[in-house]
Structure 1
Amino acid sequence: MPIILNENEQTGTASIFSQKKKIVSPQFFSRSLTGSGKKRGLLNGAFLPCIDKAKVVRPPIQYPYKKVTVTTGTSTFEVIPLSLYIQDRLEYDELPENAECISPDTVPEDQRYYLSLTMDYMILGTDLENKHKSAYCSYDIGIICKNMYGKYEMSVTSSLCIDTGFITAQSPSIDVNMVNEYVNRLTVYDLVQATAELWDEGIPKIMNAMLETGTDIDIIVNFCRTLNNYSVNLTDYKYIYNSIQQRYPTALKAASDANLNILLNVKLEMLDRIKPDIATFNPVPWKNSDVNFSPEQITAITSPEPCCIVQAGAGTGKSTVINNRLKYLQQCGVDLKTVTVLSFTNAAANHIKEIAPAVKSQTIASMINDIYSANYSHSLSTPDTIINVLQANSELMEQNHVAHKVIRAFDKMKENTNAGLVALSNIVSSQFTELIGLLDAINQTTLELESIICYHAADQLIENTTLCRHIIMDEVQDNSIFEFIYIISYVIRHKASLYLVGDCSQTLYEFRASNPKALNCLEMSGVFECMQLQTNYRSNQNILDFANLMLTNIEANQYAKIQLHANDFHTRPFDEDVKVTYSNLPGMRKLKESMPNMLLEIKGWLEERLNKDEQVAFLAYRRSDLKVFEDIIKIMFPQASFINIVPAKNYQQTFFSKYIRLMGNDYTHKAGNDAAVEIMRHILSNKEKIGVYNDNADAALKKSISEWMTKNRELLAAKDMALQNGVITLKEFTDHAFQTLIDYEIEKNALKLRLTSMRNQQKKEQDISRYNFVASTIHSAKGLEFDNVILLYNEHDSGTEEAKRMYYVGLTRARQSEYILAYNTNKQSSSIMTAYEAVCAGKSAPDNSNVSINTDRIGNEMGETA
């Protein structure tokens, strides 16, 4: 029986899971801000505000209030703005929480002065030659008098220099020693931590202050734009949207253009207004097949609502629901030719085509590409190739000023996807004609530009003549926020129904711009009917109970509140199905050396599974750990079969475009020479300048040159003959030669992507059930299931929301049993072991069906970093 979760009742074994206040760490601003004010990390206990900053190298940045990375010479600088305040002066009804009294106790309460110290910005520098790192900090010092009704005056300083003249001139006088004592006991970690908490809690207060005081629209828009860089609470965005809409409606368009989360709220309200006009169908009694569906599945399959979200937990039969939703629509008289199913992968899209050939099935990227290709002939390229091509063409850069903005937007995307997309969106909306002219000139585009152009120019573009009346989207948690905006806009334009299926807690692809908060925003909007699938058809209840502990404290699950329960009755003891061991390592780099002992300790468990002819999967975050596991297993069980199912990575090559950008002006063709050989020799003689530093890169470059020469040598010879005959100029010849390099690079990258995708799909579709051992990253194992699972659990890095979602996926892959190999460098007790022991104690109670465990703190117990 499942553990009963009770937020109010606390039992002896459950007290460990009691509520703990959410902790916002300095990594709210940047993952570079490691450390916790102790011995290790950038923000260690020795990093004090009053260090000598004259020794720290600073970049030539006049206004460091944008989150950017700048490279000058041999140094790279990461600029991290920290100040929440947009104006020099804001009024509050109460003192800031971190303000400390700096007046003598004898001074009357209403005349006392308070000091408040907050971070302004940080600049992290890295010398690329010797890898030396340094950090520069700037602070805001506030002197507040309570009888001024909390007026907060700030003086921005480049270092902590207290103006003693100002202090001593006050009446009553301010105790300078108390000021110095306050400042000297603070570490940079303390300040960044406090500032992160201000960001996490103070955004609505700041927006309210700006709106009440009639702040200029440009400042409000800039504030909204800045929020793109940080993980802001959804409720804060909802507040910002509602506040601007109600109190400053003329600023809403500009604010939504500056921030995708605000734009998503705008689109959701528009969707809510047109819901009565959305295509529906006449529901009929469902002609059920012989399959025994659960009531929650039947509800999801037959819902007549025009906007639905099926919040489907791991192993709850998402594919079954989608397949039968299509059958039900057909039973209700819907022509499947008017149904579009959008999947996250090509493999999933192909599966839908097999079971329902009439349905239009594709990925959202291919849907947008189809629309774009029907209107423009640009080749699909990559941001890096476009940047290189633009920077190599000085004439085009001078003639078309939007080129500089495109380059900056692409660079910004590398730092923050949403901020980069906002920048591209602003270019498309304000300089559409110039941008299309630029893309025409280079005959290139990117997936990002395609989606934004199709969004802004939707009313002008030719679309497929087949009418789309119903849209079904699978694995929606993996879509980006802009993809949600695009699809909702598409639905509004075509008055189509929208049926979404996914699980926010399984969002793993944030490096591809997927964001669980985007789906959360839809869940909390009130526009969609939300239905939960919580019956798991894969794992036994013991496995699910342990996964539920993690699931309860995943932030993305705050609206669905999914808790999984098994489809069958299970009586095995908990500690037979779920086991946890903890290894205390002398250092995180010692994992590779420790893994043989970790696996040797569970050899008996492994032998027991092999003797029962059961499969064992090893899941880890890093690919390198899988190789270590493979080597050990092949020694321990030489007769056992083994397969690694991790897909190959696809690396985009930009050798040629980078060569043209950096060395193109140095190449001069001599009429009558073999131009292909000339270019080959020029590239190879400058290969270090284009980033070829190792044997693998050297081999890849030489292979690319060989393929390019095979395809273009004769063409260049013909162009050379035209040059000799005076038909074309030397510049025209060089431009043509370089264009062949660019065309090859674009085609090569597209071909590599297709081949890698095809091979990876073949690898995933092969029959892996016949192997004794399977190795996979947790990301690659998503959607798969195995008899038994060994999960490598890095407790040190398990506290982030991203890590909690990843380990939740890992904890829900096993059918029969799982073994968690946890490790850390903490000499004290392990949090995951403590949680595990508490569950074991609860499960061993005489009637474990009545054990009540408050699991609110389990995200901290199982995922708190050391």
Structure 2
Amino acid sequence: MNPADVLAGLDPEQRAVAEAVRGPVCVLAGAGTGKTRAITHRIAYAVHTGAVEPTGVLAVTFTTRAAGELKQRLRALGAPGVQARTFHAAALRQLTYFWPKVIGGDPPRVIESKVPLLIDAARMLRRNPDRAELRDVASEIEWAKVSQIAPEEYPAQAAKHRRTPPIEAAEVARLYDAYERLRRERHLLDFETILELTAAVLTEHREVAGQVRQQYRHFVVDEYQDVNPLQKLLLDTWLGGRDDLCVVGDPNQTIYSFTGATPRYLTTFTAEHPDATVVKLVRDYRSTPQVVELANRVIAAGSRPRHHHLELIAQRPEGPKPSFVEYDDEVAEAQAVARQVTKLADKGVPLREMAVLFRINAQSEPYEQAFAKAGIPYLLRGAERFFERAEVRQAVVLLRGAARADQGEPLAPAVHHILQGVGLTPEPPGGGQARERWESLKAIAQLAEDVAAADPAARLPDFVADLERRAAEQHAPPMEGVTLASLHAAKGLEWDAVFLVGLVDGTLPIIYAETPDQVEEERRLLYVGVTRAREHLQLSWALARSPGGRRGRRPSRFLDGIRPGGSSAGPAAAPRVSRAVAAPLRCRVCGATLVSVTDRKLGRCSGCPADYDEALLERLKGWRAAVARTAGIPPYVVFTDVTLQAIAERAPLTEQDLLSIAGVGRVKLDRYGAAVLEVIRGEDL
């Protein structure tokens, strides 16, 4: 391909990225501004001009799907030799290759989940293992490991970083230590250890480092705002003091700090590399001007320094204004969204181009029910991966076998015939697992039709090869149904129509967000949600959880000043929004700002008089003791004394009211919520 052809069609900023063929380069890329296009064209331009050898480039991404998309685009641009991998895939490949040479023997086995090993660690410590609790402990261990925090350092560091571990920090540390001992004894690797050991091997063995650095001379790192300290350590080890590095990221989309990711490597890139080329991509090709304006207003209201903002400039034609809708309860909200989905579908918007996004996965239930009742197919994103589903694996095996005996039949009819044998029918079944199975098979059949339409000469062997490539890259075919997903799972995706639901204080921002930085991360989650929409956008909230429930919820503070009738500005508010900060939590007795963790949990100053039913508190303590005794755990693991007192003082009557109390949380709500509400009502257990 001619180098000039690679640059054709790029906007001025994208072209500036493409022409900066040698590092250091920092690309600040806003949502919908074509960052993948810019970096793939940069790599291809560097290859075609001879500035780099394709085999000397390593492009690092955070997901297998993103790596697959990079490879696909680079192949189309005539640069197929470039390696695009996730941090973990690249590190594991190197570690496995060098292990026999520098360590000897077979490399350790990689574990997908920490929970089975944590169950053994808990038993070793004579703890009664609780799988849900151990999943939360696993998350804490992952944060500690990527932050390079040893088990004995965990309690102090968890307190310093305002972590909220599911059990006492000292207990997390004990489980962390036991987990690590068992992992080493059993010759196992988790994802964090892969990165850590690869960096160690490169540091301690100069010949290995030399070989890797001779192979990879040029690095590109996507989503650089999500890099954690351990990934940065490995990247620096790969570079070995060189600076031929291009990083791409958006500070406005930093939403993974709870995992140990930090935007500081992106925001301080020019301090680390004073001679870096910096390019800002701000032309938004995804969303209408109305959606872009709202996104800009959401992020501008935050407290992050102004120079870290990327103000997007819309490039699409005008579209409908985003709508803000208040409902009496969550059931009414879900039913109304289902009606809106039907209306949009009637107007020609495909179901696969619509999404309902929420803060936590537990919010999906009323939408699943409403959609099922309305006969609207839906897909739960974040559930089992498409190519790991039993029916998909079975279908691929059958298609692979048929491909070996291919007689040159037209592709689409051949695939349909094979899939009929495993359950593909002309019309979908009513619902449940049968419907999900049918949707998976239908997606494969539809993909075959799309491939045949694009290439009439394509046959079954070609299609099977394409399926296997998609499976390796986790590139699932599009499925006909409305996507239900958390805001975190939606990052990197886009739809014609997006419904942002459940936007109430305590959910967005989540109740756990206590520090200004944590609240600002919640604001960025809303920004990510807004920027997923191409044209239609609705933001909604419900005043009560259940029909007839107390309508005591408050719309998310992030909507203040940007919605009609919002508390800090009316409908006439200009695009320029007054600077907003997280509202302080005040004592419900004297009105003073609450500072200490205990006071914030109680909702009042510790010196102010308490107002609660002492008999209720005693009932709660008795219930807690019984639960702890049955489970074989300390009472404080169920709820601390402070949390029980806060419950007694507020006497919540609904699960949402209970969730608003610090120290409860979604996991404990699911586990103990119904029983606690029964105790409050004075019902026998």
Could you state the TM-score of these two structures normalised by the residue count of structure 1?
Answer: 0.44
Q: Secondary structure at the match of 1:836?
A: coil
Residues 348-405 of structure 1, C-alpha deviations (whole Å, 9 max, x = no match): 22333332421122111122222322124223346666678789999xxxxxxxxxxx
Aligned match for 1:646, one of 368, 371, 382: 382
Contact 1:581 1:833 in 2 (8 A): no
Q: Indicate the residue corresponding to 1:623 in structure 2.
A: 361
- Per the TM alignment, residue 830 of structure 1 is displaced from its structure 2 partner at its CA by 6.5
Contact 2:59 2:220 in 1 (8 A): yes
Following the alignment from structure 1 to structure 2, what is the Cα–Cα distance between the partners of residues 313 and 582? Answer: 30
Q: Indicate the residue corresponding to 2:61 in structure 1.
A: 343
2:278 matches 1:530 = yes
Q: Indicate the residue corresponding to 2:248 in structure 1.
A: 501
Aligned match for 2:490, one of 755, 761, 781: 781
Q: Indicate the residue corresponding to 1:292 in structure 2.
A: 9
Following the alignment from structure 2 to structure 1, what is the Cα–Cα distance between the partners of residues 580 and 59? Answer: 39
2:141 matches 1:422 = no
Aligned match for 1:329, one of 18, 39, 46: 46
Q: Indicate the residue corresponding to 1:474 in structure 2.
A: 222
- What amino acid maps onto 1:642 in structure 2? Y
Q: Indicate the residue corresponding to 1:358 in structure 2.
A: 81
Q: Does the C-alpha gap of structure 1 residues 777 and 327 become closer, same or farther in structure 2, counting only changes over 3 Å?
A: same
Contact 2:297 2:577 in 1 (8 A): no
Following the alignment from structure 2 to structure 1, what is the Cα–Cα distance between the partners of residues 290 and 92? Answer: 45
- Per the TM alignment, residue 332 of structure 1 is displaced from its structure 2 partner at its CA by 2.7
Aligned match for 1:634, one of 347, 372, 376: 372
Contact 1:523 1:559 in 2 (8 A): no
Q: Indicate the residue corresponding to 1:378 in structure 2.
A: 108
- Per the TM alignment, residue 510 of structure 1 is displaced from its structure 2 partner at its CA by 3.8
Following the alignment from structure 2 to structure 1, what is the Cα–Cα distance between the partners of residues 324 and 288? Answer: 17
Q: Indicate the residue corresponding to 2:326 in structure 1.
A: 582
Following the alignment from structure 2 to structure 1, what is the Cα–Cα distance between the partners of residues 284 and 305? Answer: 16
Following the alignment from structure 2 to structure 1, what is the Cα–Cα distance between the partners of residues 250 and 525? Answer: 12
Contact 2:356 2:483 in 1 (8 A): yes
Following the alignment from structure 1 to structure 2, what is the Cα–Cα distance between the partners of residues 419 and 343? Answer: 17
Q: Does the C-alpha gap of structure 1 residues 809 and 420 become closer, same or farther in structure 2, counting only changes over 3 Å?
A: closer
Contact 2:284 2:314 in 1 (8 A): yes
Contact 2:500 2:539 in 1 (8 A): yes
Contact 2:29 2:280 in 1 (8 A): yes
Following the alignment from structure 2 to structure 1, what is the Cα–Cα distance between the partners of residues 562 and 581? Answer: 7
Q: Does the C-alpha gap of structure 1 residues 775 and 449 become closer, same or farther in structure 2, counting only changes over 3 Å?
A: closer
Following the alignment from structure 1 to structure 2, what is the Cα–Cα distance between the partners of residues 313 and 795? Answer: 26
- Per the TM alignment, residue 833 of structure 1 is displaced from its structure 2 partner at its CA by 5.7
Contact 2:495 2:533 in 1 (8 A): yes
- What amino acid maps onto 2:530 in structure 1? L
Q: Does the C-alpha gap of structure 1 residues 418 and 562 become closer, same or farther in structure 2, counting only changes over 3 Å?
A: farther
Following the alignment from structure 1 to structure 2, what is the Cα–Cα distance between the partners of residues 411 and 646? Answer: 18
- Per the TM alignment, residue 526 of structure 1 is displaced from its structure 2 partner at its CA by 5.4
Contact 2:58 2:218 in 1 (8 A): yes
2:91 matches 1:368 = yes
2:533 matches 1:810 = no
Residues 592-645 of structure 1, C-alpha deviations (whole Å, 9 max, x = no match): xx223224556764444122111432111222322321221232x43x443333
Larger radius of gyration: 1
- What amino acid maps onto 1:379 in structure 2? R
The number of residue pairs the alignment matches comes to 428
2:520 matches 1:801 = yes
- What amino acid maps onto 2:195 in structure 1? S
Following the alignment from structure 1 to structure 2, what is the Cα–Cα distance between the partners of residues 413 and 600? Answer: 37
Aligned match for 1:546, one of 290, 294, 302: 294
1:169-184 → structure 2 map (5 Å cutoff): none
Contact 1:580 1:833 in 2 (8 A): no
Contact 2:29 2:250 in 1 (8 A): yes
- Per the TM alignment, residue 310 of structure 1 is displaced from its structure 2 partner at its CA by 1.0
Q: Secondary structure at the match of 1:582?
A: strand
- Per the TM alignment, residue 414 of structure 1 is displaced from its structure 2 partner at its CA by 3.0
Contact 1:793 1:823 in 2 (8 A): yes
Q: Does the C-alpha gap of structure 1 residues 444 and 581 become closer, same or farther in structure 2, counting only changes over 3 Å?
A: same
Following the alignment from structure 2 to structure 1, what is the Cα–Cα distance between the partners of residues 496 and 108? Answer: 48
Q: Does the C-alpha gap of structure 1 residues 535 and 826 become closer, same or farther in structure 2, counting only changes over 3 Å?
A: farther
Following the alignment from structure 2 to structure 1, what is the Cα–Cα distance between the partners of residues 522 and 181? Answer: 43
Following the alignment from structure 2 to structure 1, what is the Cα–Cα distance between the partners of residues 531 and 69? Answer: 23
- What amino acid maps onto 1:380 in structure 2? V
Could you state the TM-score of these two structures normalised by the residue count of structure 2?
Answer: 0.54
Task: Give the number of the structure whose residues are more often strand, by fraction.
Answer: 1
2:500 matches 1:765 = no
- Per the TM alignment, residue 821 of structure 1 is displaced from its structure 2 partner at its CA by 0.9
Following the alignment from structure 2 to structure 1, what is the Cα–Cα distance between the partners of residues 215 and 473? Answer: 31
Q: Does the C-alpha gap of structure 1 residues 330 and 786 become closer, same or farther in structure 2, counting only changes over 3 Å?
A: same
In the alignment, structure 1 segments of 5+ residues that lack a partner are 1-284, 395-409, 428-435, 586-593, 651-756
Q: Does the C-alpha gap of structure 1 residues 489 and 602 become closer, same or farther in structure 2, counting only changes over 3 Å?
A: closer
- What amino acid maps onto 2:285 in structure 1? Y
Following the alignment from structure 1 to structure 2, what is the Cα–Cα distance between the partners of residues 315 and 534? Answer: 8
Following the alignment from structure 1 to structure 2, what is the Cα–Cα distance between the partners of residues 420 and 488? Answer: 15
Q: Does the C-alpha gap of structure 1 residues 420 and 392 become closer, same or farther in structure 2, counting only changes over 3 Å?
A: farther
Following the alignment from structure 1 to structure 2, what is the Cα–Cα distance between the partners of residues 644 and 413? Answer: 26
Q: Does the C-alpha gap of structure 1 residues 860 and 460 become closer, same or farther in structure 2, counting only changes over 3 Å?
A: same
Following the alignment from structure 1 to structure 2, what is the Cα–Cα distance between the partners of residues 781 and 424? Answer: 33
Aligned match for 2:29, one of 312, 318, 325: 312
- Per the TM alignment, residue 536 of structure 1 is displaced from its structure 2 partner at its CA by 1.0
Contact 2:147 2:260 in 1 (8 A): no
Following the alignment from structure 2 to structure 1, what is the Cα–Cα distance between the partners of residues 379 and 123? Answer: 46
Q: Does the C-alpha gap of structure 1 residues 557 and 330 become closer, same or farther in structure 2, counting only changes over 3 Å?
A: farther
- What amino acid maps onto 1:322 in structure 2? I
Residues 405-442 of structure 1, C-alpha deviations (whole Å, 9 max, x = no match): xxxxx999539526962328999xxxxxxxx9998764
Contact 1:782 1:809 in 2 (8 A): yes
2:579 matches 1:856 = yes
Identity %: 19
- What amino acid maps onto 2:360 in structure 1? R
Following the alignment from structure 1 to structure 2, what is the Cα–Cα distance between the partners of residues 437 and 842? Answer: 57
Q: Indicate the residue corresponding to 1:598 in structure 2.
A: 333
Greater relative contact order (Cα < 8 A, sep 6+): 1
In the alignment, structure 2 segments of 5+ residues that lack a partner are 126-136, 155-179, 387-468, 510-518, 544-550, 585-659, 662-685
Following the alignment from structure 1 to structure 2, what is the Cα–Cα distance between the partners of residues 835 and 426? Answer: 43
Following the alignment from structure 1 to structure 2, what is the Cα–Cα distance between the partners of residues 853 and 390? Answer: 54
Following the alignment from structure 1 to structure 2, what is the Cα–Cα distance between the partners of residues 828 and 379? Answer: 49
Contact 2:203 2:237 in 1 (8 A): no
Following the alignment from structure 1 to structure 2, what is the Cα–Cα distance between the partners of residues 437 and 414? Answer: 13
Following the alignment from structure 1 to structure 2, what is the Cα–Cα distance between the partners of residues 833 and 426? Answer: 40
- What amino acid maps onto 2:489 in structure 1? S
Q: Secondary structure at the match of 1:287?
A: helix
Q: Secondary structure at the match of 1:795?
A: coil
Alignment RMSD: 4.3
- Per the TM alignment, residue 814 of structure 1 is displaced from its structure 2 partner at its CA by 1.2
Contact 1:553 1:859 in 2 (8 A): no
Following the alignment from structure 1 to structure 2, what is the Cα–Cα distance between the partners of residues 455 and 425? Answer: 22
- What amino acid maps onto 1:369 in structure 2? L
- Per the TM alignment, residue 312 of structure 1 is displaced from its structure 2 partner at its CA by 1.0
Residues 701-723 of structure 1, C-alpha deviations (whole Å, 9 max, x = no match): xxxxxxxxxxxxxxxxxxxxxxx
Following the alignment from structure 2 to structure 1, what is the Cα–Cα distance between the partners of residues 567 and 227? Answer: 38
1:261-272 → structure 2 map (5 Å cutoff): none
Following the alignment from structure 2 to structure 1, what is the Cα–Cα distance between the partners of residues 230 and 147? Answer: 11
Q: Does the C-alpha gap of structure 1 residues 366 and 412 become closer, same or farther in structure 2, counting only changes over 3 Å?
A: closer
- What amino acid maps onto 1:812 in structure 2? T
Residues 678-735 of structure 1, C-alpha deviations (whole Å, 9 max, x = no match): xxxxxxxxxxxxxxxxxxxxxxxxxxxxxxxxxxxxxxxxxxxxxxxxxxxxxxxxxx
